[in-house]
Amino acid sequence: MSGKPKLHYFNGRGRMESIRWLLAAAGVEFEECFLETKDDLTKLQKDGSLLFQQVPMVEIDGMKMVQSRAISNYIAAKYNLYGKDLKERALIDMYVEAVIDLNELLMTHTFQPADKKEQHFATIVDKATNRYFPVYEKVLKDHGQDFLVGNRLSRADVQLLETLLMAEECKPDILVKFPLLQSFKARISNIPTIKKFLQPGSQRKPPLQEKDVPKLMKIFH
Site residues, ligand GSH (CB under 6 A): 14-15, 53-56, 67-69, 220
Q: Beta partners for 57?
A: 8, 66
Tell me whether residue 9 or residue 178 sits nearer to ligand GSH (CB atom). 9
Least distance between ligand GSH and beta carbon 214 (Å): 15
- Provide the 10 A C-beta neighbour count for residue 217: 11
Least distance between ligand GSH and beta carbon 68 (Å): 4
Check: CB of residue 8 under 8 Å from CB of residue 59: yes
Tell me whether residue 53 or residue 151 sits nearer to ligand GSH (CB atom). 53
Tell me whether residue 137 or residue 162 sits nearer to ligand GSH (CB atom). 162
DSSP state of 144: -
Question: Measured at CB, which residue is nearest to ligand GSH?
Answer: 54
Q: Which residues contact 133 (CB under 8 A, 6 or more apart)?
A: 174, 175, 177, 178, 181
Least distance between ligand GSH and beta carbon 189 (Å): 26
Closest CA relative to residue 149, chosen from 159, 103, 16, 215:
159
Tell me whether residue 57 or residue 124 sits nearer to ligand GSH (CB atom). 57
Least distance between ligand GSH and beta carbon 133 (Å): 24
Check: CB of residue 10 under 8 Å from CB of residue 216: yes
